[in-house]
Every structure is written in C-alpha cells, then in structure tokens.
Amino acid sequence: MSRIVGCILILFFLFSCGHKLTAQKITIAAASNTKYVIDELCERFEEESGIKVEKVYASSGVLATQIVHGAPFNLFIAADTKYPKFLVDKGMALGKPVRYAKGSLILWSFKSIDLTEGLKSLSSAQIERIGIANPRTAPYGALAEEVLEKAELLEKVREKLIYGQNVGQVNHYVLQQNVDVGICPKSVLKAPGLNYKGHWIEVNKGQLEQAMVLTKYGQENNPELGKQLFDFLLSPQAQKIFAAYGYEI
C-alpha cells in the first residue's frame, strides 16, 4: 500500500511540476526587423525570470491579421504604431500601444557600388535591382516607398524594385547578392556574423516609431507573464540593448 501511495505522490508531483512549467510560457509575435535584438533580449529575460518565450517573426501586417483571426500570441511587438492601434480598435488588444524604440533605414549592399550620394545613388545605371519589403504589410517597406516619394525617386526606380515578403527576406536578397542594394532596417547590421559588414549608408534616422501591445489573448492567458516581458523590454537594461542594435530610443 505504501508503494502505491508513494507512486501516486510522485505522479502528482510530476503532474504539478509539468503544469507549472507549461504555465510559465508565453508566445510573442514580433516584426521581422526585431529578430536579432528580440532573440538576445528574450534569452536574458528567460535567464532572469524563468519564463519561456516562444517567438514568431513575420511582417507586422501579417502578424496583426493572424491575431485578429485568433492566433495565440500574448504580446505583439510591431515595426510601427499603426498595426498595434489597429488591434486595439478591433478589440484584439487592451490598453494603449507603447513605443519601445525608433527604427532607421539604410541602403545596404555587398557589391562594389558607390552609395555616398544616398538615395540619389539608386538612380545610377549601376544599380538594376533594389530590394524592398512589401509596403502593404511591412512598415519598413512602406517607409522606404515614402522616403523615395519624398526624394522624387519612386517613379524613377519603380521598375528596379524587387519586393520581399518582409525585411528578413530582403536582408537575404542582399546577403545572397540577388539585388544590388537593399533598403533595410539598420538593425540588420548587428545580425550574428555580420558586425556591420557590407557597404551601407543611413538614409532615414529614427523616424519609424515601433510600438508593442498586450493582446486580448494575452490578457486572458497568463497576463502577469506577458506583462513581465512587456515591462522588461522598457527597462534601462533592454533599452541599452535596443540602442546597441541601431535603434533610436
């Protein structure tokens, strides 16, 4: 009898631990431009809090659509303020979106191309293919088109534009030299193994405000865990790391 009781107690202990471990987990949706910095920040957060963070990266527009359709994300870390506000308006996020950083655009190339004239360089016959994220779903793609429009270059270079699904795909185009130059977020320069490699020039500094918001799902499922990560990303420690990845604070 004592052995049976002992086994029951062990099974109860294991079940309790397993339930606790399962509860100590959240899933976040994060814009592609934040991948490298969020990977590092979540690793530190996990070490300090013991909370496991599962991460899903895509363009902000794609992630917002998934959340509207019930995707189980606790926290949405966007590349702009528009999509978090969109979720609030849809009743899929509670509270106000909070800015965590500001992003910058660069021209980036691994080819022997002179970029010293900034955006004007894109008119050169030497540049035939320009990588840009899909402006319909990726805020950095929308900003790139806006910057080109203001410089009166959009129509001149439109036939050169090669669209990626998100900034991650555009970064890949640049690295594989499938495009001559990419219009990319500055944060890519700190990607593992890159360390500011290639030729690049900043063309839009800190004008893309990036915000995050706790989702309705996150409010209904382990809200205290999502709030811990939310607060951590706004902490001085995290803000210094954002700055190290090329973001303006």
DSSP codes joined into one string, the chain? -HHHHHHHHHHHHHHHHHHHHHHSEEEEEEEGGGHHHHHHHHHHHHHHH--EEEEEEE-HHHHHHHHHTT---SEEE-SSSHHHHHHHHTTSB-S--EEEEEEEEEEEESSS---TTGGGGGGSTT---EEEE-TTT-HHHHHHHHHHHHTT-HHHHGGGEEEESSHHHHHHHHHTTSSSEEEEEGGGGGSTTTSS-SEEEEEEEEEEEEEEEEBHHHHHSSHHHHHHHHHHHTSHHHHHHHHHTT-B-
**pTM score, whole prediction:** 0.88
Asked whether residue 36 is assigned to any structural domain, the reply reads yes
Q: Are 147 and 110 in contact (CB under 8 A)?
A: no
Supply the pLDDT for residue 192: 82
| Residue 83, domain CATH | 3.40.190.10
pLDDT in tens, 189-215: 988 878 778 999 999 998 899 999 999
Q: Are residues 78 and 121 in the same domain?
A: no
Cross-strand bridge partners of residue 208 = 103
- Assess whether pLDDT exceeds 60 at residue 119: yes
Q: Are residues 29 and 41 in the same domain?
A: yes
- Assess whether pLDDT exceeds 70 at residue 142: yes
Q: Are residues 195 and 218 in the same domain?
A: no
- Assess whether pLDDT exceeds 50 at residue 170: yes
Supply the pLDDT for residue 3: 52
Q: Are 193 and 119 in contact (CB under 8 A)?
A: no
Asked whether residue 230 is assigned to any structural domain, the reply reads yes
Lowest-pLDDT range of 13-27, 33-47, 135-149, 177-191:
13-27
Q: Are residues 189 and 235 in the same domain?
A: no
The whole-number average pLDDT for the span 41-67 is 97
- Assess whether pLDDT exceeds 60 at residue 153: yes
Q: Tell me the residue range of the domain where 19 lies.
A: 2-101+209-244
Cross-strand bridge partners of residue 106 = 184, 202
Supply the pLDDT for residue 239: 97
Q: Are residues 77 and 18 in the same domain?
A: yes
Q: Are residues 52 and 170 in the same domain?
A: no
The band of 20, judged by pLDDT with boundaries at 50, 70 and 90, is very low
Asked whether residue 126 is assigned to any structural domain, the reply reads yes
Domain count, the chain: 2
Asked whether residue 249 is assigned to any structural domain, the reply reads no
- Assess whether pLDDT exceeds 60 at residue 88: yes
Q: Are residues 202 and 233 in the same domain?
A: no
Q: Are residues 85 and 109 in the same domain?
A: no
Q: Are residues 8 and 96 in the same domain?
A: yes
Q: Are residues 85 and 126 in the same domain?
A: no
Q: What is the mean pLDDT of the chain?
A: 91
pLDDT in tens, 227-241: 999 999 999 999 999
Supply the pLDDT for residue 210: 98
The whole-number average pLDDT for the span 66-80 is 97
